Amino acid sequence: MSPGGPRLSGKVALVTGAARGIGRATAVAFAREGADLMLVDIAADLPGVPYPLGSESQLAHTAELCRETGAAVRTARVDVRDLAAVETAVKETTARFGRLDVLVNNAGIAAPSGRAAHEIEEHEWQLMLDVDLSGAWRTIRAAGALMTARGAGSIINIASTAGLVGYRHFAGYVAAKHGLIGLTKAVALDYAPRRVRVNAICPGSVRDDPRVEGRMLAEIARALDVPVAEHEQTFVQAQPMNALVEPDDVATAALWLASDESRQVTGTVLTVDGGFSAR
Amino acid sequence: MTCHALALRVPASADPGPVLDAAVRGWWPELPDRWPVLWHDEVPARFAEHRLRAELHRPVTEGGPAFRAVLLRYEDGGAHLVLVAHHALLTPGVLQDIAHVLLGHRPATEVTVPLGCDKPPKGPHRPRIDWATGEEGAGDRTGVVTVPVPAGAPAAALVLARYEHRDPGDGLPAYATVLDEVGPVDPTFSHRLPFQSAPFPLTLVPRGTTVELHHQLRHIDEASARAFARHLTHVHAQLGHRPLAEIELIPHEEAERLLPPPAGIPRPAVPSRIDTAFDARADRHPDAPALTHDGTTTTYGALRERAERLAAGLRAAGVRPGDRVGVRLERGADLVATMLAVLKAGAAYVPMDPAHPEERLDRTARDADVRLVVRDTAPYLGAARTDRPRNRTPRDLTPKDPAYVIHTSGSTGRPKGVVVPHANVLALLDATREDFALTAADTWTFFHSAAFDFSVWEIWGALLTGARLVVVDHWVARSPEDFHALLVRESVTVLSQTPSAFGQLRAVDRGAKEGLSVRLVVLGGEALDTRPLLGWFDRHPEDRCRLVNMYGITETTVHVTAATVTRREALAASRSVGRPLPGWSVSARDERGRPLPTGAAGEIWVGGAGVALGYLGRPELTAERFVNDPYGPGRWYRSGDLGRLRADGSLEHLGRIDSQVKVRGYRIEPDEIRAVLLEDPVVTAAAVVLSGDAFEDAAGVRIDAYVVADGDTGDVRRRAARLLPDHMLPTTVTRVPVLPLTPNGKLDRDRLPAPEKPVSVPAPTGDLVTALTGVWEEILGVPVGPDDNFFELGGNSLYAIRVGTALRERGLPALSMRLLYTHPTVQALSLAMADE
């Protein structure tokens, strides 16, 4: 908590992909700073994604960690490919908390990947874009009117350094994340007159912190068929700060964008990548 | 540089001086002429101990004496002989031998604690290092408590040794350590320590006139740290005045306060027997399903009727109240009916698993002095038909009568029959019924051998709560696939499993399409590793299926404590087995039966409603293990298990006291090794086997690990090397498709394959020095001398990882990060690596 009091005091945030990883770290950071939360996750495995996604138990655990800080928390199982489900979650948020101030579009998948562009099946391409790009648009579709009507709010899209540069054999993911940055900038202009801010965060390689049960890095390594330790080492060396990014590093960046401290910041891309994209 | 130290108290009557000198020359002829007694003056005890502390950190140089001896004389005429040796040359065991010879083969009256002396890195670089893993950045929040204890290192070491229940000669545990005197606080730094967060859960830093306790809040809360500080001052006040063995951790008054509060026992209004409680169920709901076997369901009424006919048959065959009757039947309706019949006849049943070897069964029958053994129910049913009874339990039978005798194979070899009365079983159900919400709507499995007391819980847990018991056949119990299908088919809601068996079931469940109806899983019979449960929670969220880990002992009626395990515990790899059941109480005691404070490890004593009557026909053994509390009321069972109580009243189980084995003078904790292996993400199950005979040939003892893993076992061993001290690192790691289980569902060591070849070969030291110097120079970019400190040259944890990689690339032995931090010079590191 900062000296001036909780930084998100009285605010209500909706976080997608909240069961684990950056989603969990962000939810807990927000809760600690006084926000009440609607936490959503698919909480089920997705056919076509070659690794387990968040589970109900993990989502419940994130909620428990948030409640320990005194936050009021609701959870819902939401697939961001399903607009009706996303709309229901937003409605539930306002029904329970009366408002929605912060939207964190964090839900995303890293695989199926690991192949050249022409080797990707069409349904795989569609799946990647549907979750990682269109998923963020759907929550904006569901919450945008509400936020602009109130004339306040912060939308934070968790993109990736893959939204800034290419990565070999990750065409779908890179395209979706580049798209997400484009979406961020366009919506920022749409909503600027209504004082709703829209920003993107591009995390570099984030360590799979067991406390938040992250597994993105391990899954990317698996998609590339290299040992996790070797993959980590490669990225540590690629990031000039000589370290992997921690989920908390991303969460604190999101915290700043969510708070009024960043009130003049919109349409920006905040990289949290240990200097990776500086060279 | 790691040293071993040994201090022996020499009685006032004996002057060891001349003996010592002569003995040493005779026994250790290659010692240099100058006998290395360091000082021989009379010194105040406290000062001597302080000097000793400093001495321990002075390395015993190569070519110098193999060990140093210090004789500390006290005003009372007594003395301490202190031996300090470089451990590569002399193990603690050898030191003891030397001391034995030095003292003219007189038995030492007392052995004092050794002082650990692993040095933390010094210099301006204080990387945030998690000392347990060698990882950077894992800085836990820590608290600091400071207590005024001048020259506090010896007292701190002593308190720690007591807390950890360590024998002298073991070195200090990885759990806590005492650092070298650090000196006065440097005002230019917020804290002048070589670390940013405490490297151990508890790190003690003596600093002139005070001792600082740095505690990781994840492991030790502030109240516990303050209690530790209190005990530290209490012990310090006694040092030098009392023999070490008599030094108390805590004042007697505080010890009494530590006794567990009288257990609030939710006793039933009218104490009951198993058979009468069953009859009450059968009276109320005679048509309710009681037992399902092979698709056939028997009702409560029918089961009672069959039991009564059998009881009449048993009586006709001569069974009288107070007798014992062997029951040698396969799991099934007949087995349960016969158990009930034996109880109705006023006798106690002695389960005999037909799968056990004939000889063992004969011995069980002889030991229990059974009236008869039921191998088939037909003869007893036949007798009953002529004399159709509606017999009730005779009035002179009471809940205090023995209900069953179950044999446990103790470490001594000969099985002991544990006699458990009816009231204990009823108390067990009273203790759990409400918390576990056990109702007649439940369906339980009868999975375990009747000779394993987990089945007592399964059978009577189901039948005394009106639930349905589903018999799991011998072959179904051995096939996780078939068992899973049975759980689905019968809609089982309450499942009892050993962690090993549950691990196999989880593997099947991961790939299964059909969902389970299980709402409660009771795990018992073995230590539980919580981390592999994460996958189970993903499939079965805690709000739909509760997972309870129970620590139990046959001598205290199946269970003692219960802990609901959630994702949180699994993520924290908790070792807690929970709080005692209502009516049961738990206390940690030292070897004299004195209660130990919260956080201190000692023998687990169990009291209350579950304590058995004793061992059948073994009065001496019963008197030894079932004792009256020297510090308060009540009868306790001394479990022989090691544990500590946490501030929240829960118990941490730390393994068996007597199963701890020493390898090359170090104490080995197989459970700790296993826990580390299981932390590896690719490992889903692990077992650790110690082989060789520690008494015949200490160096011949080896540690072999078996893992069920999705990856290379060499990598598994390398990762384990980052967490385990070298003496605990398994020599071999062998991959197996599945861990073999015994009929009781515990690990079957005999069916493990022969271990694979050892994984790495150490290189000669000379090459290592050259190689290490080369690697350091390359990575640090500066010239490196043999005694230059890695961190003072600009090394940090990232460079440390690169050193490890570079060594691996050159085919040199794996480097554990921990080793580099404890041995930050080329000279020290090469020696330490050569030891590995």
If asked whether residues B330 and B393 sit together in one domain, one would say yes
Please choose, from the candidates B441, B432, B567, the residue with its C-alpha nearest in 3D space to the C-alpha of residue B493: B441
Residue A251 lies in domain: 12-120+128-278
Residues B409 and B541 in one domain: yes
**Mutation for testing the A interface, residue in B538, B539, B568, B710 having most A CBs under 10 Å:** B538
**B108-122, B273-287, B317-331, B468-482: which has the minimum mean pLDDT?**
B108-122
Asked if A244 and A236 count as a contact pair (C-beta separation under 8 A), the reply is yes
Nearest Cβ partner for B537 among A57, A242, A246: A57
Alpha helices, DSSP H, located in A5-119: 21-32, 56-67, 83-97
**Is B543 within 8 Å of A60 when comparing Cβ atoms?**
yes
B513 shares its domain with B415: yes
**In sequence order, which ranges of B444-498 are alpha helices (DSSP H)?**
454-463, 474-477, 480-489
pLDDT band at B178 (very low <50, low <70, confident <90, very high): low
**Nearest chain B residue (CA) to A58:** B538
Number of domains in chain A: 1
Check residues B646 and B615 and name the one with the higher pLDDT. B615
Residues in A closer than 8 angstroms to B806, CB to CB, are none
Tell me what the pLDDT averaged over chain B comes to: 74
Tell me the C-alpha distance between A171 and A139, whole Å.
Answer: 24
| Same domain, yes or no: B341 and B479 | yes
Q: Is residue A148 part of a domain?
A: yes
Give the list of residues 6+ apart from residue B188 with CB closer than 8 angstroms, or none.
Answer: none
* Own/partner pairs, B775-779, CB within 8 angstroms, 24+ separation: B775/B803, B775/B806, B775/B807, B775/B810, B776/B803, B776/B826, B778/B806, B779/B803, B779/B806
- In whole angstroms, give the CA distance from residue A188 to residue A167: 26
Residue in this structure with the two tokens 């589970």, named with its chain if needed: A55
Q: What is the pTM of this model?
A: 0.67
Residue B565: phi and psi, rounded to 5, are -95, 125
Residue B688, amino acid = V
Band of residue B105 on the pLDDT scale cut at 50, 70, 90: very low
pLDDT above 70 covers a percentage of chain B that reads: 64
Rounded CA separation B615/B406 (Å): 10
CB-facing half-sphere around the CA of B340: CA atoms within 13 A = 30
Q: Which of B656, B674, B703 is the last residue of a domain?
A: B656
| B715 chain-A contacts, CB cut-off 8 A | 227
Neighbour count for residue A91 (Cβ, 10 Å): 13
Residue B756 located in a structural domain: no
Q: Which of A32, A57, A59 to mutate: most B Cβ within 10 Å?
A: A57
Bond from prior residue into B597 cis (ω within 30 degrees of 0): no
Distances, alpha carbon B345 to alpha carbons B182, B189, B308, B359, B614, in Å:
73, 79, 9, 28, 22
What's the pLDDT band for B164 if we cut at 50, 70, 90?
A: low
pLDDT score for B4 = 52
User: Which segments of B583-649 are extended strands (E)?
Assistant: 584-589, 601-608, 614-615, 626-628, 635-645
Q: How far apart are CA B251 and CA A161, in angstroms?
A: 62
pLDDT number for residue A230: 80
The number of folded domains in chain B is 6
CATH number at residue A28: 3.40.50.720
Same domain for B393 and B534?
yes
Closest-CA distance, A127 to chain B, in angstroms, reads 23
Q: Are A35 and A67 in contact (CB under 8 A)?
A: no
| Structural domain includes residue B112 | no
Could you report the per-residue pLDDT of B700-741, keeping only the tens digit for each? 567 888 988 887 888 888 777 766 666 677 888 888 888 888
Q: Which domain holds residue B527?
A: 274-280+288-580
Whole-number pLDDT of residue B386: 43
> What pLDDT sits at residue B71?
54
**Domain contains A101:** yes
CATH assignment of the domain containing B770: 1.10.1200.10
**CA of B546: which chain A residue's CA is closest?**
A57
* A6 falls within a domain: no
Q: Are residues B66 and B173 in the same domain?
A: no
Rounded to the nearest angstrom, the minimum Cα separation between A146 and chain B is: 33
More confident residue, B676 or B835: B676
Q: Which of A55, A57, A242 sits opposite B798 (nearest CB)?
A: A242
Q: What would the mean pLDDT of B667-675 be, rounded to a whole number?
A: 71
Has residue B724 been placed in a domain?
yes
**pLDDT classification of B781: cutoffs 50, 70, 90:** confident
Whether B378 and B427 share a structural domain: yes
Does B111 fall in a domain? no
Whether residue A93 is contained in a domain is answered as yes
Report yes or no on B265 lying in a domain: no
Q: Is B304 part of any domain?
A: yes
CB B53 within 8 A of CB B154: yes
Q: Which of these ranges, B3-7, B313-317, B598-602, B826-830, has the smallest mean pLDDT?
A: B3-7
- Give pLDDT, residue A202: 97
In a domain, A53, yes or no: yes
B598 and B494 within one domain: no
Among B549, B580, B611, the domain boundary falls at B580
Q: Which residue has the tokens 């936490």?
A: A39
* Residue B103, pLDDT score: 58
Chain centroid to Cα B160, Å, comes to: 18
Whether B52 shows a pLDDT value over 50: the answer reads: no
Is A173 an annotated catalytic residue?
yes
User: Which CATH number covers residue B689?
Assistant: 3.30.300.30
Beta-carbon separation of A55 and B541 below 8 A: yes
B381 and B310 in a single domain? The answer is yes
- In the prediction, which pLDDT does B62 show? 44
Judged by CB atoms closer than 8 Å, whether chains meet at B571 and A233 is answered as no
Which string of b and e fits B558-597 if b means at least 16 CB within 10 Å?
A: bbbbbbebbbebbbbebbbbbbbbbbbbbbbbbeebbbbb
- Which pair of tokens denotes residue A233? 């080492």
Q: pLDDT: is B217 or B148 the higher one?
A: B148
Set of chain B residues whose Cβ sits within 8 Å of the Cβ of A210: 571
Among B601, B627, B656, residue at a domain's last position:
B656
Which CATH number is B635's domain given? 2.30.38.10
Q: Please check whether residue A23 lies inside any domain of the structure.
A: yes
Residue B269 forms part of a structural domain: no
On whether both B669 and B725 belong to a single domain, the answer is yes
* Interface contact A61-B136, CB threshold 8 A: no
Average pLDDT over residues B615-632: 90
Please check whether residues B216 and B242 belong to one and the same domain: yes
User: B267 in a domain, yes or no?
Assistant: no
User: What is the Cα–Cα distance from B696 to B394, expressed in whole angstroms?
Assistant: 58
- For residue B255, what pLDDT is reported? 66
Q: Is A64 on the interface with B (CB under 8 A)?
A: yes
Question: Which residues of chain A are modeled with pLDDT < 70?
Answer: 1-4
Note whether A115 contacts B: Cβ–Cβ < 8 A. no
Instruction: Please report how the helices B45-56 and B153-164 are oriented relative to each other, as an axis angle in degrees rounded to 10.
Output: 80
The CATH number of residue B516's host domain is: 3.40.50.12780
Nearest to B538 among A57, A64, A243 (CB): A57
Q: Are residues B73 and B139 in the same domain?
A: no
Axis crossing angle, helix B153-164 with helix B222-238, rounded to the nearest 10: 120
Separation in Å, CA B824 to CA B88, B680, B793:
17, 26, 10
- Reported ipTM: 0.81
* pLDDT tens-digit map of B627-657: 998 877 789 999 989 888 887 788 988 877 7
> Does residue A7 form part of some domain?
no
As a whole number of angstroms, the distance between CA B730 and CA B676 comes to 11
Highest mean pLDDT pick, B430-434, B692-696, B744-748: B430-434
Q: How confident is the model at residue B50 (pLDDT cuts 50, 70, 90)?
A: very low
Q: Which of residues 182-221 of A touch B (CB under 8 A)?
A: 210-211, 213, 218
Q: Measured between CB atoms, does A68 come within 8 Å of chain B?
A: no
Question: Comparing C-alpha atoms, which of A84, A85, A81, A74 is closest to residue A37?
Answer: A74
Residue A141 lies in a domain: yes
CB nearest to A61's CB, from B540, B568, B681: B568
Q: What DSSP element (H or E) covers B834?
A: helix B826-835
The per-residue pLDDT for range A148-157, each reduced to its tens digit, is 999 999 999 9
Q: pLDDT of B545-555, one tens digit each?
A: 999 999 999 99
**Element (DSSP H or E) covering residue B216:** strand B210-216
